[in-house]
């Protein structure tokens, strides 16, 4: 089980004093938060990608490369990388480069993005969101697995004799998660390739995500990647901690009430009841997080949102200290004790390399997932 | 025979409201006319006033509270819908519109719908055809031809040579809804997660 944090990278005024960090301060704060994540024993730091104010992280691999140079253990990831509006060729190149620089400590989460104008800004049509995600990823998948690619599709210029460089580290591409909030098509895509599926369930009640994850697990097994229980699932979460539960609520409430995403809507109490948000003592966070396993099954990666809504850097760092010292060790122990032996651990480069070598003998560079031949497979159980 | 499920959505503000009164008259009439043809009907009335905060919160967060979700599910699986709003500022009320804004935009496809409105004077009666009917047309509902508008004076008059009284209009509209609902129902809407197999998704892009 991997634990980490994911950040949106918003520049939001602190509602308790009105101060707003500069873009420079926010970017440096994100780096400080990532370094802190490693220091307190977390496994993953993931950054969002945005192309409009008030968000700063437009160039994730630049930031992650800088963090890679200052860390030793931390897996660097995204939440999400826009598979719709980025050129899949550039994603293949950027993340392979980052993978080499970080000695394999890289994976990525693909998403479609939720900001309408980004599509036209990058020359795309939002109504083609799902087809873009499907075709662009098919190309990305191929670019990392085939040395010389001929390609023709709907959404970018054709490629003849193209080689994406650098080639993935040791011939093993970065692990890919597919993130989705509402689209069964994306759960199906993740299942087809045997990739991970990440449910960012932080804003919505869990029933909805139980359905999506069940679909992904069922289809993962259908495509022959293992049992439903062996599918690779990641979940979002959101916590604010204090030794004393009431102090946690008192400190977090102004940030909650004014948060850009859900502020001025339901009360903190209603929201914590309906969504994974936990505001309370370390024990309450432990208890709530353990319920995710009961709802979604054994899973591989838990990411927490810790640094949004104008929370000052100092507070976020204190939160991470508490999380790392009092929550994560207990969660590691409890999740490990509950997990059956046949359920895989969170994906890492060494594990994927070993698996690729085992699957392909002396040629670990080929076919970690599916190729186009599998597209002819028939489907009997697409409907429940 | 399984009873038909009729749901009335009423956006009246006061308690009691003439909007609710009209909704009740319409559901009673529809239920009675169905009973005459041997079709029992179960009736559910949803007061949007009780859900006002939940509807606003759904707008902000993107997901419904438990009570609102239950109301949305009732409307979605109804065999016939009776939608009644007071006239506010030349149209349906904002709360009425907000409820239909948080419904899935496929929830009312082919659903028999009776539209009705209340107002202080008869001068607003075309709100049925200028505001409500286009809203439900957009949602691809099957709106019955007769809409019922009740001005305050309608509750105390019996109509005249040129205008049917409220009771007559209620009976006519309810009859149209009852016949449509009985003819098209029951249509259990599956709640399963349907997914297009990946190979088909890929082939659709490659083939286009």
- Give just the sign of the alpha carbon dihedral A14, A15, A20, A23: positive
Q: How far apart are the first and last CA of chain B?
A: 47
pLDDT tens digit sequence for B7-52 = 999 999 988 899 999 999 999 999 999 999 999 999 999 999 999 9
Q: Which residues of B touch A377 (CB under 8 A)?
A: 197, 199
DSSP string over A65-88:
HHHHTT-SSPEEEES-EETTTS-H
Token pair 């104010």: residue: A53
Would residue A384 count as lying in a domain? no
Token pair 């409430």: residue: A253
Strands (E), chain B: 4-10, 41-47, 80-88, 91-92, 112-119, 142-143, 148-151
| Choice among A206-210, A287-291, A314-318 with the minimum mean pLDDT | A206-210
- CATH at residue A84: 3.20.20.30
Q: Where are the alpha helices (DSSP H) in chain A?
A: 23-39, 60-68, 88-101, 118-121, 129-143, 184-193, 206-222, 245-257, 268-274, 282-296, 313-322, 328-338, 349-360
Which contiguous run of DSSP H or E holds residue A4? strand A2-7
Residues A307-317 as b/e (b if ≥16 CB within 10 A, e otherwise) read bbbbbbbebbb
Would residue A223 count as lying in a domain? yes
Phi/psi zone of residue A44: left (φ > 0), alpha (ψ -120 to 50 degrees), beta? beta
Q: What is the mean pLDDT of residues B61-87?
A: 95
CB spacing of A375 vs B199 below 8 angstroms: yes
Residue A138 has pLDDT above 70, yes or no: yes
- Reported as a pLDDT band with limits 50, 70 and 90, residue A262 is confident
* Residue range of the domain that includes A304: 2-376
Would residue A269 count as lying in a domain? yes
pLDDT value for B71: 98
Contact B107, B139 (CB under 8 A): yes
* Residue range of the domain that includes B96: 4-207
Nearest CB partner across the interface for A384, out of B63, B192, B208: B192
Distance from CA of A352 to the nearest CA of B (A): 24
Nearest partner of A261 among A115, A133, A121, judged by Cα? A115
CB spacing of A188 vs B201 below 8 angstroms: yes
- Reported as a pLDDT band with limits 50, 70 and 90, residue B208 is low
The strand pairing partners of B10, in sequence order, are B47, B84
pLDDT, greater one: A132 or A379: A132
DSSP string over A92-156:
HHHHHHHHHHTTT-BEEEEE--S-TTHHHHTT--GGGHHHHHHHHHHHHHHHTT-SSEEE--SSS
**Residues in B 47-86 with any Cβ partner in A closer than 8 A:** 56-57, 59-63, 65-66
pLDDT value for A274: 85
CB spacing of A203 vs B63 below 8 angstroms: yes
pLDDT tens digit sequence for B108-166 = 999 999 999 999 999 999 999 999 999 999 999 999 999 999 999 999 888 788 878 99
Contact B63, B110 (CB under 8 A): no
pLDDT value for B196: 87
DSSP annotation of A368 reads S
The strand pairing partners of A78, in sequence order, are A47
Q: Which residues contact B180 (CB under 8 A, 6 or more apart)?
A: B80, B112, B142, B144
Secondary structure of chain B: what % helix, strand, coil (to 5)? 50, 20, 30
pLDDT value for B193: 55
* Count: domains in chain A: 1
CB spacing of B205 vs A374 below 8 angstroms: no
pLDDT value for B98: 98
Q: What is the mean pLDDT of residues A81-97?
A: 98
pLDDT tens digit sequence for B80-89 = 999 999 999 9
Residue A297 has pLDDT above 80, yes or no: yes
CA A169 to chain centre: 21
* Count: domains in chain B: 1
ipTM of the complex: 0.77
- CATH at residue B179: 3.40.50.360
Residue A241 has pLDDT above 50, yes or no: yes
Would residue A173 count as lying in a domain? yes
pLDDT tens digit sequence for A213-233 = 999 999 999 999 999 999 999
Q: Tokens in use for A89?
A: 């060729």
Residue A364 has pLDDT above 60, yes or no: no
């Amino acid at each position: 089980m991997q634990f980490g944090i994911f950040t949106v990278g918003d520049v939001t005024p602190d509602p308790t004093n009105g101060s707003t960090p500069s873009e420079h301060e926010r970017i440096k704060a994100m780096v400080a938060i990532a370094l802190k994540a490693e220091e307190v024993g977390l496994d993953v730091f993931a950054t969002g990608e945005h192309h409009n104010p008030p968000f700063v992280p437009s160039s994730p691999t630049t930031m992650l490369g800088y963090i890679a140079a200052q860390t030793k253990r931390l897996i660097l990831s995204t939440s999400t990388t826009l598979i719709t509006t980025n050129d899949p060729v550039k994603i293949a190149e950027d993340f392979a480069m980052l993978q080499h620089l970080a000695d394999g400590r890289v994976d990525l989460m693909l998403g479609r993005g939720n900001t309408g104008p980004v599509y036209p800004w990058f020359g795309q049509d939002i109504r083609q969101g799902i087809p873009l995600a499907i075709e662009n990823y098919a190309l990305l998948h191929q670019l990392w697995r085939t040395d010389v690619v001929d390609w023709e599709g709907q959404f970018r210029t054709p490629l003849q004799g193209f080689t994406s460089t650098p080639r993935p580290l040791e011939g093993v591409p970065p692990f890919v998660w597919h993130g989705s909030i509402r689209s069964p098509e994306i759960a199906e895509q993740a299942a087809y390739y045997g990739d991970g599926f990440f449910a960012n369930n932080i804003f919505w009640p869990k029933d909805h995500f139980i359905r999506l994850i069940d679909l992904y697990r069922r289809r993962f097994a259908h495509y022959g990647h293992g049992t439903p229980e062996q599918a690779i699932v990641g979940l979002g979460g959101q916590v604010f901690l204090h030794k004393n539960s009431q102090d946690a609520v008192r400190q977090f409430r102004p940030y909650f009430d004014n948060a850009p995403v859900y502020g001025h809507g339901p009360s903190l109490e209603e929201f914590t009841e309906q969504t994974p948000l936990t505001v309370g003592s370390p024990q309450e966070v432990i208890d709530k997080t353990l319920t995710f396993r009961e709802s979604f099954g054994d899973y591989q990666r838990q990411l927490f949102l810790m640094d949004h809504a104008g929370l000052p850097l100092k507070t976020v760092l204190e939160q991470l200290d508490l999380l790392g010292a009092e929550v994560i060790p207990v969660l590691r122990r409890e999740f490990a004790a509950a997990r059956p032996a046949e359920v895989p651990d969170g994906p890492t480069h060494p594990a994927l390399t070993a698996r690729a070598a085992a699957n392909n003998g002396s040629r670990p560079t080929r076919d970690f997932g599916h190729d186009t031949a599998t597209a002819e497979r028939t489907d009997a159980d697409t409907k429940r | 025979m399984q009873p038909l499920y009729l749901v009335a959505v009423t956006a009246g503000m006061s308690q009691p409201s003439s909007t609710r009164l009209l909704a009740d008259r319409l559901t009673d009439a529809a239920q009675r006319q169905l009973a005459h043809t041997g079709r029992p009907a179960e009736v559910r009335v949803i007061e949007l006033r009780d859900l006002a905060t939940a509807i606003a919160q759904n707008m902000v967060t993107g997901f419904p509270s438990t009570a609102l979700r239950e109301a949305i599910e009732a409307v979605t699986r109804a065999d016939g819908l009776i939608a009644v709003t007071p006239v506010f500022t030349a149209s349906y009320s904002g709360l009425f519109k907000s409820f239909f804004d948080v419904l899935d935009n496929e929830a009312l496809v082919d659903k028999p719908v009776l539209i009705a409105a209340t107002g202080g004077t008869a001068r607003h009666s075309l709100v049925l055809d200028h505001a409500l009917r286009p809203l439900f047309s957009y949602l691809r509902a099957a709106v019955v031809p007769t809409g019922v508008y009740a001005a305050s004076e309608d509750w105390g008059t019996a109509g005249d040579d040129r205008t049917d009284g409220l009771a007559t209009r209620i009976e006519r509209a309810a009859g149209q809804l009852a016949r449509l609902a009985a003819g098209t129902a029951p249509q259990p809407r599956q709640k399963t997660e349907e997914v297009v197999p990946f190979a088909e998704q890929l082939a659709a892009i490659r083939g286009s």
